[in-house]
């Protein structure tokens, strides 16, 4: 299988760097082909702007969505964007690995998503009408592929528990798991989270990497998070609201997971 590991940490000797090296080794030893997009090492340009469409005429207005659509349709995207899209098409599974920074991914990784998730590639796919609201949330260009987050946090596990002050980790990662990964079609696996990183030592690193190794060994057999598919009958279209008869008393992010 082909695995793309997208990695966002500025320091190779960091905990994240060690976990990334461990993952690459483990996957290769299991016979997989691994490619790494090491965003800091690549000096990835994080800002989406007019330079992303080589066809853009300086001095004319730049529209982020329509510029992206034009460039994707006409093959005028900047080379770095097209190269990352090719890696996504090549991959059977994609791992996004990053330290949690201000309750989300580091800006460089957000910029990777913003720039390579072009209009026509990751969004704006399929028929949009009163009967159908596009191929998304379970369908789309990346359907059939698996994705998983590997995340490290300074906060303790209970800080991210159901009643923890930071909010439940599944809620914090929902915009990435559901919004960034499930939206264009990935089957999203439960995240691998390493909490309280300041308390890492050699013994804990050995346990942590072994646990990560098991998750990598089970990349193809782990049951994805059962997010509801937009076009699977659970939502009213075109409102895209959960049907009134499903969990009628409940609201919030968890209603989009079929328990
Ligand atoms: P490192 O700092 O490199 O290492 C952590 C520990 O692991 C160190 O003690 C190191 O000695 C040890 N270690 C490293 N490699 C090994 C190895 N191979 N074997 C054994 N031990 C090793 N945290 C939150 O919970 N929520 C937030 O919103 C949040 N926001 C942040 C925002 C910013 C801008 C920053 C800088 C940090 C934030 N943090 C937050 C904390 C952040 O998530 C952690 O600092 C990060 O996850 C630690 O990962 P690292 O790879 O940088 O670890």
**Candidate of 22, 96, 153 to mutate for ligand 1, largest count of ligand atoms within 8 Å of Cβ:** 153
Q: State in Å: Cα 206 to ligand 1 middle.
A: 16
Quick check: CB of 13 below 6 Å from ligand 1?
no
What is the DSSP annotation of 109-136?
A: HHHHHHHHS-BTTTBS-S-BSSS-B-S-
Closest CA to 147 of 86, 96, 222: 96
**C-beta atoms surrounding 165 within 10 Å:** 9
pLDDT reported for residue 131: 87
- Residue 152: strand, helix, or coil: strand
- The strand pair at 93-99 and 146-152 is best described as parallel
pLDDT digits over 74-127, tens only?
A: 999 999 999 999 999 999 999 999 999 999 999 999 999 999 999 999 999 999
Residue nearest (by alpha carbon) to ligand 1 atom 8: 198
Instruction: Give the Cα-Cα-Cα angle 53, 96, 225 (nearest 5 degrees).
Output: 115
Question: How does 44-79 read in b/e, with b if 16+ C-beta sit within 10 Å?
Answer: bbbebebebbeebeeeeeeeeeebbbbbbeeeebee
- Taken in order of first residue, the domains within the chain and their CATH numbers are 2-224 (3.40.50.360)
Query: What pTM was estimated for this model as a whole?
Result: 0.97
Q: How far apart are CA 206 and CA 153, in angstroms?
A: 18
pLDDT digits over 190-203, tens only?
A: 999 999 999 999 99
pLDDT reported for residue 146: 98
Q: State in Å: Cα 191 to ligand 1 middle.
A: 17
Quick check: CB of 205 below 6 Å from ligand 1?
yes
Q: Which segments in the chain show pLDDT lower than 50?
A: none
Q: State in Å: Cα 200 to ligand 1 middle.
A: 9
pLDDT reported for residue 259: 84
Residue nearest (by alpha carbon) to ligand 1 atom 17: 15
Closest CA to 182 of 142, 125, 237: 142
């Amino acid at each position: 299988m082909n695995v793309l590991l997208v990695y966002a940490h500025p320091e190779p000797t960091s905990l994240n760097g060690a976990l990334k090296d461990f993952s690459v080794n483990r996957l290769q030893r299991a016979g997989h082909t691994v490619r790494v997009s090491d965003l800091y090492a690549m000096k990835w340009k994080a800002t989406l702007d007019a330079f992303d469409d080589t066809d853009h005429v300086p001095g004319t207005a730049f529209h982020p969505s329509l510029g992206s659509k034009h460039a994707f349709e006409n093959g005028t995207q900047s080379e770095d964007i097209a190269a990352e899209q090719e890696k996504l098409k090549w991959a059977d599974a994609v791992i996004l690995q990053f330290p949690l920074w201000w309750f989300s991914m580091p800006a460089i990784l957000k910029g990777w998503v913003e720039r390579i998730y072009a209009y026509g590639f990751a969004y704006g796919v399929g028929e949009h009408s009163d009967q159908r609201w596009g191929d998304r949330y379970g369908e789309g260009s990346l359907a059939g592929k698996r994705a998983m987050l590997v995340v490290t946090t300074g906060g303790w596990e209970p800080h991210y528990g159901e009643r923890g002050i930071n909010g439940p980790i599944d809620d914090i990662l929902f915009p990435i798991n559901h919004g960034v990964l499930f939206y264009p079609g990935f089957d999203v696996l439960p995240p691998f989270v390493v909490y309280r990183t300041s308390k890492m030592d050699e013994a804990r690193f050995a346990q942590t990497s072994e646990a990560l190794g098991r998750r990598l060994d089970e990349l193809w057999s782990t049951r994805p998070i059962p997010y509801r598919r937009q076009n699977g009958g659970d939502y009213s279209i075109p409102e895209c609201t959960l049907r009134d008869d499903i969990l009628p008393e409940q609201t919030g992010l968890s209603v989009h997971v079929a328990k």
